[in-house]
């Protein structure tokens, strides 16, 4: 059985340990009938469906309170900002320099992930950079509080987060950690790559081969898990992800914004959407727009773009991952410190390939990569160590 490290651990078959509960003095009194009824119903379901101890779960949930700040954060996500603002916050000098440093420190794991899963180093590094600044900011919310708040106090996505809460408790039981001791994002995402519990259970891998799937403390496990995730969702090695497009003057773009590539490029051409790079007519694509500083930008998204949106279903997020990946690939080909990023309107539209214009860029190892968002995209083809005081067990 695989276990996690970097998390407060308790032995399977024993009771839940005591965990410190953050003060809720600044939060409103959450004692509402709806909250308690929802918890009671969930506990009954977990006991019947997964044979949890209802008494143990009641003990745990007695220490959980809804956090209104989590609801506020969910209703105003950062990915909802205009693209040009989101890009400036996520494709910048700090993230490029940090990404180069992370890549150099973990080059062996990144290269092995590429060999085993076919996902380029820059895509993995960019994803981790945008998620947690390369593991520096993994979240301060107690995961159980976050998931319970969203499952029982946020009706628009209650069903989704109720399932994630179920997955989280199963993950805790399987891995032997204290569910009250883990912190993550306001949405309940965990560790360096910010996996939700269902993704943790399904896609996390023990990439450092120490017998544990540890996304909290093991950069190697995080690297392998991100690559494995993209591989499982269908990343195609050597293919472009997006291509800029031009549109006819009378084109109705009201429907732009879809992300599933299910329209042949030939059909897009007949509608007045012209890819600014060679694409075969039978390639499946999506047409979308983003908000640039000077007006709308038009893009064609291909399979690999869609795969990145499986990590976060935001066009802005996927575009930032791909553009940061381009910048990281270029920076790794240049000697010396990481360069400043190119302007948003510059190289990615001019068709400049990574390394052009730099001092002695040198060839990149392996097949050419790093043109995910450019016109020249020809490659389409222990807090719980206190004495245990509850006699209740998991099972």
pLDDT tens for each residue of 100-126: 999 999 999 999 999 999 999 999 999
Place 75 in a pLDDT band, splitting at 50, 70 and 90.
Answer: confident
Q: At which residue do the structure tokens 């969702």 appear?
A: 233
Place 154 in a pLDDT band, splitting at 50, 70 and 90.
Answer: very high
In the Cβ-directed half-sphere of 203, how many Cα atoms lie within 13 Å?
23
pLDDT at 152 over 70: yes
Place 336 in a pLDDT band, splitting at 50, 70 and 90.
Answer: low
Backbone angles phi, psi at 251, to 5 degrees: -70, 135
Segment 123-149 shows an average pLDDT of: 97
Q: Supply the pLDDT for residue 307.
A: 98
Judge whether 131 counts as a catalytic residue: yes
Q: Supply the pLDDT for residue 254.
A: 54
CB of 238 closer than 8 Å to CB of 265: no
> DSSP H helical segments within 207-249, as ranges?
219-232
Burial of 323 (0-12, 13-18, 19+ CB in 10 A): buried
Segment 158-177 shows an average pLDDT of: 97
> DSSP H helical segments within 51-106, as ranges?
54-61, 68-75, 83-90, 93-105
Helix axes 33-50, 143-153, angle to 10 degrees: 110
Sign of CA dihedral 220, 225, 230, 236: positive
Segment 61-71 shows an average pLDDT of: 93
Set 131, 167, 323, 327: catalytic member: 131
Tell me how far apart the alpha carbons of residues 357 and 197 are, in angstroms, rounded to a whole number. Answer: 44
Segment 235-255 shows an average pLDDT of: 85
Smallest Cα–Cα separation from 381: which of 248, 266, 238?
238
- Of 6-10, 11-15, 78-82, 87-91, the range with the highest mean pLDDT is 87-91
Q: Supply the pLDDT for residue 77.
A: 77
Helix axes 83-90, 315-333, angle to 10 degrees: 40
Q: Supply the pLDDT for residue 390.
A: 32
Higher pLDDT, 206 or 25: 206
Q: Supply the pLDDT for residue 335.
A: 76
Q: At which residue do the structure tokens 């472009």 appear?
A: 240
Sign of CA dihedral 172, 177, 179, 183: negative
If phi over 0 gives left and psi between -120 and 50 gives alpha, with beta otherwise, what is residue 97? Answer: alpha
CB of 323 closer than 8 Å to CB of 373: yes
3-state percent helix, strand, coil for the chain, nearest multiple of 5 = 45, 10, 45
């Amino acid at each position: 059985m695989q276990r996690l490290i970097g998390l407060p651990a308790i032995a399977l078959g024993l009771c839940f340990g005591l965990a410190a509960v953050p003060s809720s003095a600044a939060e409103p009194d959450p004692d509402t009938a709806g909250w308690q009824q929802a918890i009671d119903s969930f506990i009954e379901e977990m006991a019947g469906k997964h044979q949890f101890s209802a008494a143990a779960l009641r003990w745990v949930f007695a220490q959980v309170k809804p956090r209104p700040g989590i609801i506020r954060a969910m209703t105003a996500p950062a990915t909802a900002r205009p693209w040009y603002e989101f890009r400036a916050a996520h494709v910048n000098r700090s993230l490029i320099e940090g990404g180069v440093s992370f890549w150099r420190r973990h080059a062996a794991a990144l290269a092995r992930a590429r060999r085993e899963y076919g996902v380029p180093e820059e895509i993995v590094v960019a994803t981790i950079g945008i998620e947690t600044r390369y593991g520096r900011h993994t979240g301060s919310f107690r995961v159980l509080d976050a998931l319970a708040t969203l499952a029982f106090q946020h009706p628009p996505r209650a069903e989704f987060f109720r399932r994630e809460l179920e997955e989280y408790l199963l993950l805790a039981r399987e891995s032997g950690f204290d569910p009250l001791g883990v912190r993550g994002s306001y949405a309940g995402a965990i560790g360096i790559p910010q996996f939700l519990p269902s993704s943790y259970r399904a896609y996390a891998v023990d990439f450092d081969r120490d017998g544990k799937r540890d996304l909290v403390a093991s950069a190697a496990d995080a690297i392998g898990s991100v690559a494995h995730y993209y591989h499982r969702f269908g990343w195609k090695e050597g293919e472009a992800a997006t291509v800029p497009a031009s549109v006819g003057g009378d084109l109705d773009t009201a429907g732009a914004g879809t992300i599933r590539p299910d329209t042949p490029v030939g059909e897009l051409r007949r509608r007045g959407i012209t890819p600014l790079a060679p694409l075969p007519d039978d390639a499946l694509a999506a047409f979308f727009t983003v908000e640039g500083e000077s007006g709308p930008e038009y893009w064609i998204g291909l399979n690999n773009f869609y795969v990145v949106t499986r990590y976060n279903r935001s066009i802005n997020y996927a575009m930032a991952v791909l553009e940061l990946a381009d910048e990281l690939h270029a920076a790794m080909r240049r000697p010396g410190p990481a360069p400043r990023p190119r302007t948003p309107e510059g190289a990615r539209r001019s068709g400049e390939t990574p390394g052009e214009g730099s001092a002695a860029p040198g060839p990149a190892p392996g097949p050419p990569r790093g043109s995910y968002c450019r016109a020249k995209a020809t490659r389409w083809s222990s807090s719980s160590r206190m004495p245990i005081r509850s006699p209740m067990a998991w099972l």
